[in-house]
Amino acid sequence: MAFPLDGSSITHGIQLAVAPVFLLTAVTGMIGAVAGRLARIIDRARTVEDRALTGTYPGGPELAHQELEALRVRGKLSNACIALLTTCAFLIGVTIIVLFLGETSGIQISRWAIGSFLLGVATFLAALLCFLAETFLATRILDFRLRPHGRGPTA
């Protein structure tokens, strides 16, 4: 049975599909931000490894190993975040397709749209948790012992 494609159903289908596009835009922006953080983690790990191998790492090999371990955990969290964000983007893309097809073809697939959208939001929330954990780890290793204007370490 052919379902006629009229202008109003196509327009309505596009309107329904636009809302998830805003989430898709946010997800792609976050992928860029997390990928940038991951690149910095990798660069820092290479620097620490090089300094540790040449014996120029301040604090010696034990502190270098500790920093590398912290960077490894941060890298894993960043990778998990990117994987979750990519899964979210895929699910939101599926939602857009299902909404559009459901509106223009008359196929009753609204449960698929609801499921893919909710799974997409859930993966987005999980990615935010990974991002939060990574930023906590990043700021935990900062050393704020130096006072401004070179007054030395705090007591």
pLDDT tens by residue, 65-106: 999 999 999 999 999 999 999 999 999 999 988 888 887 777
- Tell me if 150 is assigned to some domain: no
Structure confidence at residue 70 (pLDDT): 94
- Tell me if 2 is assigned to some domain: no
Structure confidence at residue 43 (pLDDT): 98
How many CA atoms lie less than 13 Å away from 116 in the CB half-sphere?
A: 21
- Tell me if 149 is assigned to some domain: no
Distances (CA, A) of 47 to 42, 59, 103: 9, 14, 54
State the DSSP H helix or E strand holding residue 49, giving kind and residue range, or none if neither: helix 7-54
The total number of structural domains in the chain stands at 1
CB contact at 8 A, 35 and 121: no
- Tell me if 147 is assigned to some domain: no
- Tell me if 54 is assigned to some domain: yes
Structure confidence at residue 132 (pLDDT): 97
- Tell me if 128 is assigned to some domain: yes
- Tell me if 65 is assigned to some domain: yes
Structure confidence at residue 147 (pLDDT): 53
SS3 136: helix
Structure confidence at residue 78 (pLDDT): 98
Structure confidence at residue 74 (pLDDT): 97
Structure confidence at residue 6 (pLDDT): 64
Residues of the chain with pLDDT under 50: 1-2, 152-155
Residue 113's domain comprises: 10-139
Structure confidence at residue 109 (pLDDT): 81
- Tell me if 64 is assigned to some domain: yes
